[in-house]
Chain A
Amino acid sequence: MKILFKCHIGIGTKVQGEVLSANDNFSARYDLDRLKGIFSRPQHKLVGKSYVDKILVLNESKGGVASAWMLYEMCARKMAPKAILFNKANTILAQGASFANLTICDRFIDGDITSLLSSGQRVAVDPINGLVSII
Chain B
Amino acid sequence: MELNKEEKAMASGELGDAVEWAINHQIQVGNFFDAKNFVQVSNVHMMIDPESVGIDGVLFLEKLVGMKAKVKIPMITDPRGVDLNYYTPLGQTEEMANIERRTIKACTSMGILMTNTCVNYQTIMAPLLGEHVAYGDTGVVIYTNSVCGGRSNYEGGPSALAAGLTGRTPRYGLHLEEKRIPTKKFCIKFEPSELTDWGLLGAVIGKISGSYWEVPIIEGINHNPKSDELKHFGASMASYGSIPLFHIIGITPEAQNYSSKFVNQLDEHEITIDDILSLKSQFGKKGDKIDVVVFAAPQLSIFEMQKVSELCFNKSFKVPVIICTSPQVYADASRMKIIDQIEETGAKVLEGTCFYNQYAREIGLANGWKRLMSNSAKIVNILGGYGYEPSLSSMENCIDSAVAGEII
Contacts and interface: CB of A to CB of B under 8 A. Distances in A.
Given A62-B241, A91-B155, A76 B54 contact: yes
Given A40-B387, A73-B56, A64 B138 contact: yes
Interface stretch (B25-33, B143-151, B254-262, B344-352): B25-33
Contacts of A70: 52, 54
B24 to A, nearest CB: 9
B382 A29 contact: yes
A101 B245 CA distance: 29
A99 B385 contact: no
Overall SS of chain B's interface: helix
A64 B382 contact: yes
A90 B154 contact: yes
A50 B236 CA distance: 28
A94 B29 contact: yes
Nearest to A94: B32
Interface residues on B, range: 35 or more
A69 B158 contact: yes
A60 B158 contact: no
Interface string A48-64: 00000000000011111
A65 B385 contact: no
A67 B156 contact: yes
Nearest to A74: B54
Given A65-B157, A76-B56, A98 B28 contact: yes
Given A61-B242, A65-B138, A88-B211, 19 more contacts: A9-B31, A10-B32, A30-B384, A41-B384, A62-B210, A62-B240, A64-B382, A66-B156, A69-B47, A69-B53, A69-B57, A70-B52, A73-B53, A88-B213, A91-B33, A91-B212, A92-B154, A94-B32, A99-B158
24 contacts: A30-B381, A33-B385, A40-B387, A44-B385, A60-B210, A61-B242, A62-B242, A63-B138, A63-B382, A64-B239, A65-B138, A65-B156, A65-B157, A66-B51, A67-B156, A72-B56, A72-B57, A72-B60, A73-B52, A73-B55, A76-B54, A91-B156, A92-B154, A99-B159
